[in-house]
Amino acid sequence: MNILKNRQFEKLFVCWLVTLIFLVIIMIVVGGLTRLTDSGLSITNWDLFRGVIPPMNNFEWESYFSLYKQIPQYRLLNYNITLSEFKYIYLWEYYHRLLGRVIGLFFLLPFVFFIIKKIFSKEYLFKFYIIFFFILLQGFIGWYMVKSGLVNNITVSHYRLALHLFFAFLILSQIFWYFRNIITQTNKKFFNKSNSFFSIKIFIFLIFLQIIIGAFVSGLDAGKVYQTWPLMNGSFYPSNILNESFVYLFSFKEHGFVQFIHRNLAYLIFFNIIFIGYKIFLEKAKYLYKLYALLFFIILLQIFLGIMTLVSGLNIIIASTHQISSIFLTIVSLSLYHRTIN
Helix (H, G, I), strand (E, B) or coil at 4: strand
Chain length of the chain: 342
Are the beta carbons of 311 and 229 closer than 8 angstroms?
A: yes
- Range from 116-120, 271-275, 315-319 carrying the lowest mean pLDDT: 116-120
Helix (H, G, I), strand (E, B) or coil at 232: strand
* pLDDT score for 233: 87
For the chain, which residues make up each domain, given as ranges?
1-187, 190-342
Long-range contacts of 56-63 (CB under 8 A, 24+ apart): 61/86, 61/87
pLDDT for 71-91, tens place per residue? 999 999 999 999 999 999 999
pLDDT for 278-337, tens place per residue? 999 999 999 999 999 999 999 999 999 999 999 999 999 999 999 999 999 999 999 999
Q: What's at 286, amino acid-wise?
A: K
Which positions ≥6 away from 201 have C-beta within 8 Å? 337
Whether residue 33 has pLDDT greater than 90: yes
